[in-house]
Every structure is written in C-alpha cells, then in structure tokens.
Amino acid sequence: MSRLLARLDHELAGCRDPLRRAELAAERACHLARVGDIAGAQNVAAQLRRDHGDGRASRIAVRIMLLEGLILFFDNMDPAAADRILRAHTVAMAWRHDDLIRLTASWLAHMHFVLGDFGAMVQALGACFDRPGACIEASSRVCVVVGTAHQFAGDAQAARPWYERARREAITLGDDATIGALVFNRPAMSLVTLRLDALYGRLDADELRMAAIGVESAWAYCLGAHQYSLMQLMRVCRARIAMLSGEPERAVVLFDELLQPQDTRFGFHADRLVPEIERAACLAAAGRVHDARIAFEALDPSLYVQLAVEDRLLFLLQYAALSQALGRPEQAAEWAGALAEVRGRYDSEIDRLKTALAGLSLSRLAA
C-alpha cells in the first residue's frame, strides 16, 4: 500500500465527521483510479453518489465529479472525462473552494494537454498560479503537466525543474501514482520526437537507447508499485521501441496484442489509427508485403483530422512513406497537401506552446 493510501486510511479511521469522511473517501478513490483499481474507485463513486448526490455539500460534489472524470480517463481514456472535470472545476469556482479550484484546474489542464489543446491547457493552469497558500496535491499535478508540456515542445532542460518539484512533492504526499507518471512521461514524450525524427531520416541511436531504458524502468516501477493504469500505454511504447530499433517482427507481435481488443483506446481521438499504420509499416519492413497492403488498404486516412496535431503529422508522414514503400505513390500525392498544412500547423503550435510556457515559472506556484 502506498503511503498516501495509508495516510488517508489512518485519517478515515479517526474521523467522525460524515462530510469530512466522504471527502477523504473521494480523495482515496481518486488515487485508486489513478493506479488502475477502477472497480474499487467505481464502488466508492457509486456509494458517494447515493449518500451525497443531491449536491448540497459542495466540496463533496466537486470531489465526486473529479473522481468520476478520473475514472473515465484512467479506465479507457473516455473523452467524456474532460467534461466531467470541467464541471467539477466550475462548481469549485462557484463556491470559491480555493484548493479544489487549483486541483480541478490542474487535472483539467492535463486533459487539455492530452486533447492537444495547448491554449486551453495554459488557460486552465492560470487558476493555479499567483495564489496565496500552498496546495501540494494540486501543485504536484501542475508540475507534471508543465514539465511534460516542456518536454513535448522539445525542451527537456526546461522540463527538468518542474519534474523535480513534482517528484519532491509526490514523495512528501507518498503519491506513487505521480511518481509513476513522472517515470513514464519522460520516455513517452521522447518517443514522439524520436518517431518524427525516424520519419525524417535523422533518428538518434543514443536517444533511442535512453528511451528504451526509460520505458523498461517505468514498466518495472509501475509493476513494483502495483500501478496498472499506465500499462496499456507502456505496451504501445514497447512496440514503438521495437519498431524504431529495427525489430519489425517483434513490433508486429506487440501491436497485434495491443490492437486485438477492439474496444481498447489509446487516447481521446481516432486513437487506433496511428498504431494501426505503424503496424502496417512494420509488416512491410518485415517483408510481409501482402499483409502490409491489406493493413494499409483497411486504413481510412480521412480520419486523421480527428487526431491531435502531433499524431496528425505522424500519421500523414507514415502514410506517405508507406505509400511509396508499397508502390502506391499516387496515394501519397493525394495527401501531400494535407501533410504540408499539418506540418506548418504543428510547427506553429509548438512555437505558441513554447511562448505560453515561457510565461510560467515555479516562483509563481506557492510552495
């Protein structure tokens, strides 16, 4: 059991105030959702809805909605998660619960980052800065989001102090889920850059080796900490490491295992599209040209518009390369205009993200 759960259990055991007990139970269940105990979190959410679903206790109402949003997100990355957390944030704002305003805003920013809406992410984070008094539960999440965004934008150096503070605060809280996210996010974000570099023909072997070590370290940590919510995403990372490392046969096996359950999600968008085309590319690289053509023809490239901007670029670059490899240059030409537009948009989005992040500093986040 994590120190966070032990602390909450100890407080619950000595608490006689029913409203405070309900809030502690919701906080505990949020942690369960974050580590992948979805059934446990759902049971608590249902009980809290039965006992406090009338909304008269505003703090509990916020905690319930946040809990429901996190269940939706960590269970299967349901797009409805962002709306549920936005509702929690709106209620917290209406009742001026300062700590819950920050906490819900930090998770709302996380959802917007996953959605690829960086402007909304930064706007949500605004509620967390320049406020008196510390809220470590919120600030650790803010630091994870900002650090991850810096790394996504290609500035690992700028990400480092945010990650370091997030780690310190997670240790203080005994929050294994945040530590697991930190261990995972670094190699996961580097894989976005590495996949783009590979498609541009400039893959750095040393960076790939470090990402591979990072993914395996995250895998070992999460297994040891009984944190299962990230396992699906780490399996995707393992498949992509094999793909980039020149092991297409192994990558195909890993992608097949991932894609076999038809209801499994990998993001808020047309999230299966990118691993499906990566699988097709691995089939071609493994010499299974007939199977690659079948997989390629099964793709609907028009779905790329549902992807986040980085996945749009990755998909269209991979589609162009695979079209050429399979002797279908006319299909690459058909989508050349879309690729040029997405490439320009990706560059401008990254520039805007860097500018927005430059306006955030740790000194503005109460410690």
| 290-326 per-position pLDDT tens digit | 999 999 999 999 999 989 899 999 999 999 999 999 9
- What value does the mean pLDDT take over residues 122-149? 94
Task: State the average pLDDT for the chain.
Answer: 94
Quick one: average pLDDT of 64-90?
Answer: 94
pLDDT of 269 > 70? The answer is: no
Q: How confident is the model at residue 146 (pLDDT cuts 50, 70, 90)?
A: very high
pLDDT of residue 267: 61
Grade residue 260 by pLDDT with cuts at 50, 70 and 90. confident
Q: Is the pLDDT of residue 93 over 60?
A: yes
The residue extents of the domains of the chain are 1-96, 246-360
Q: What is the pLDDT of residue 116?
A: 87
Q: What's the whole-number mean pLDDT along residues 36-46? A: 97
Q: How many CA atoms lie within 13 A of 231 on its CB side?
A: 14
* pLDDT attached to residue 115: 87
Question: How high is the pLDDT of residue 172?
Answer: 95
Q: CB atoms < 10 A from the CB of 192, how many?
A: 17
Per-residue confidence (pLDDT) for residue 232, from 0 to 100? 87
Our measurement of the distance from residue 209's CA atom to the centroid of its chain's CA atoms, rounded to an integer in Å, reads 22
The mean per-residue pLDDT over the stretch 60-72 comes to: 97
Mean pLDDT of 108-112: 96
Pick the closest to residue 227 from 99, 75, 89, 36 (CA basis): 36
pLDDT at 53 (0 to 100): 87
φ and ψ at 287, to 5 degrees? 85, 5
Average pLDDT over residues 198-208: 97
Question: What is the rounded CA–CA span in Å between residue 109 and residue 102?
Answer: 10
* Amino acid 264: pLDDT: 66
Is residue 184 left, alpha or beta, with left meaning phi > 0 and alpha meaning psi from -120 to 50?
alpha
Predicted local confidence at residue 270, as pLDDT? 57
Percent of the chain's residues with pLDDT above 70 = 98
Q: What is the mean pLDDT of residues 76-105?
A: 95
What is the value of pTM for the model shown?
0.94
> Is residue 120 over pLDDT 90?
yes
pLDDT tier at 268 (50, 70, 90 boundaries)?
low
pLDDT at position 134: 80
